[in-house]
Amino acid sequence: MTKIANRKVTKVLEPHIIDKKKNFENYEGYTHVKECEKNIMSEFKNIVENKDGNLTPFLDDILSVVNKYDSED
């Protein structure tokens, strides 16, 4: 299930990852790496959560499976 989720999320984020890489290739100067990473992760999280609802049903299904089997311990 993890591989399926990774593929779906990667497909949604792929154009954004490429864009970020291009922006950093020509970046001159210094940046606060931790802050930059935090901002990118937050941006990517928002993209995944709000991408036209494409992943919402998928993520809801995963959550229901996790909740079902996690409570059976």
Reported as a single tens digit per residue, the pLDDT across 39-54 is 999 998 888 877 655 7
pLDDT over threshold 80, residue 72: no
Mean pLDDT value of segment 34-43: 91
Angle at 12 between CA 19 and CA 28, to 5 degrees: 15
29: tokens are 């100067």
pLDDT over threshold 70, residue 71: no
Structural domain range at position 38: 2-70
- Cβ–Cβ < 8 Å for 16, 47: yes
Q: The pTM is what?
A: 0.63
pLDDT over threshold 90, residue 18: yes
State how many domains the chain has: 1
Task: Give the pLDDT confidence score for residue 73 in this predicted structure.
Answer: 54
- Cβ–Cβ < 8 Å for 51, 12: yes
